């Protein structure tokens, strides 16, 4: 099997290299925005949208135009990759996977990508990386890069620059270890397994909420775009970065443990966007319990359920396992002993007691058991070919790998 993996490192550029990277990121952003504006103009005039090849011809004209001749100072391949990103954004929009492409803003996700591995040189012994028009860059070599380099993405976050090296390597088909398990996601318990194991929530945002609120209030009192405002903004960005890094680290540790010890993982197909929707309502029809629902929404988004599922997806694929998504309806209301379904079975947030047979257990454990059983049924049906369509929201590597 072919394994695609990315290795991300912080780079330590010189002052001149930092200036060049800012210029390259700005050039890619300019090309993306200019191409998007040009596509919108063609649409308003009733003309058809150009594809990637047509945009590349326009890019050549822009690089030779005296008004935008500074685009020639940036390497051409990253500029072409910006046009590919725009083409992919349009494809996702027409496939109803994303919203309409939006213009990029300076300072937000500044990055550029080198797609040609022939132009990239990696010297791991001396912790150096060669990139066109940047020269040799030193990076913090925290682990070995395995496989053949496919492309390199340079990005900026909170004033620091990073490189993400994507590699490809052949590996023997792995044999999964362990059995099957169901997972019930929650707020009081982040993840509860059907064998009774549970993981407490990290609540990274909640831990830094007071500090973030203080920094944001200080930023709001500064004159916009002044030096003090820029310092305050950088302070807010660092707090957000720490929140995200802590959450991702926690999710990686849990998903790695689960994927290495189980051959099949059954998980709820949770509609996070609907669960975290605001209850404010409208002026004519105002909502109820708005503050309580707002706190619940923050707690839900603080868990990172979608990212956890994404990590489980590719890590199970690396280990030869399967991820099966099942509908979440009545998973916490169904008695695993007699099968009776009732809202009265769940006496409280944590206590489950069947009104039919008297079975008692933790509500999250009951939900995980029901998810595991539903996942087994779905897996058996798909293997036998009885039910082919995957669950709503099932992504690549879940039910699509079965059969």
- Which amino acids are annotated catalytic? 184, 268, 364
CB 331 within 8 A of CB 184: yes
How many other C-beta atoms can be found within 10 angstroms of the C-beta atom of residue 51?
Answer: 11
Within 197-285, where are the H helices?
204-220, 227-261, 272-275
Q: For residues 261 and 192, what is the distance between their CA atoms, to the nearest angstrom?
A: 15
Tokens representing 85 are: 């990103």
With residue 148 as reference, give the H or E element that holds it.
strand 148-157
DSSP output for 368-385: HHHHHHHHHHHHHHHHHT
Determine phi and psi for 312, rounding to 5 degrees. Answer: -60, -35
d(CA 88, CA 84): 6
Find residue 168's DSSP bridge partners. 4, 148
**Of 153, 398, 401, 187, which is closest to residue 275 (Cα–Cα)?**
187
138 strand-pairing partners:
12, 128
């Amino acid at each position: 099997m072919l394994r695609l993996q990315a290795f991300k490192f912080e780079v330590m550029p010189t002052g001149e290299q930092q200036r060049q990277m800012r210029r390259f990121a700005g050039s890619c952003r300019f090309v993306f925005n200019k191409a998007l504006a040009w596509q919108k103009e063609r649409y308003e005039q009733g003309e058809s949208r150009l594809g990637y090849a047509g945009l590349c011809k326009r890019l050549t004209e822009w690089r030779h135009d005296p008004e935008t001749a500074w685009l020639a100072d940036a390497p051409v391949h990253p500029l072409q990759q910006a046009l590919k990103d725009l083409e992919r954004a349009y494809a996702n929009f027409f496939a109803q996977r994303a919203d309409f492409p939006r213009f990029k803003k300076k300072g937000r996700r500044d990055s550029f990508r080198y797609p040609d591995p022939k132009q990239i040189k990696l010297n791991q012994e001396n912790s150096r990386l060669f990139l066109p028009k940047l020269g040799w860059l030193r990076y913090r070599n925290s682990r070995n890069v395995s496989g053949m380099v496919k492309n390199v993405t340079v990005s900026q976050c909170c004033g620091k620059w990073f490189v993400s090296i994507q590699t490809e390597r052949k590996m023997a088909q792995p044999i999964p270890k362990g059995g099957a398990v169901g997972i019930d996601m929650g707020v009081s318990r982040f993840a509860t397994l059907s064998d009774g194991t549970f993981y407490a929530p990290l609540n990274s945002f909640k831990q830094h909420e007071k500090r973030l609120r203080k920094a944001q209030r200080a930023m709001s009192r500064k004159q916009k775009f002044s030096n003090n405002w820029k310092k305050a903004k950088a302070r807010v960005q660092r707090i957000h970065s720490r929140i995200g890094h802590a959450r991702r680290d926690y999710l990686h540790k849990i998903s790695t443990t689960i994927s290495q010890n189980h051959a099949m993982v059954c998980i709820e197909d949770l509609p996070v966007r609907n669960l975290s929707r605001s209850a404010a309502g409208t002026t004519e029809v105002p909502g109820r319990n708005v503050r309580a629902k707002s706190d619940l929404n923050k707690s839900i988004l603080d868990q990172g359920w979608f990212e956890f599922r994404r990590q489980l997806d590719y890590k199970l694929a690396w280990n030869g396992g399967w991820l099966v998504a099942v509908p979440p309806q009545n998973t916490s209301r169904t008695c695993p002993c007699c099968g009776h379904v009732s809202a009265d079975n769940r006496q409280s947030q944590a206590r489950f007691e069947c009104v039919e047979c008297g079975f008692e257990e933790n509500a999250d454990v009951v939900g995980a058991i029901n998810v595991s059983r539903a996942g087994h049924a779905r897996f058996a049906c798909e293997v036998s070919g009885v039910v082919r369509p995957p669950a709503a929201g099932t992504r690549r590597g879940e039910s699509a790998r079965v059969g």
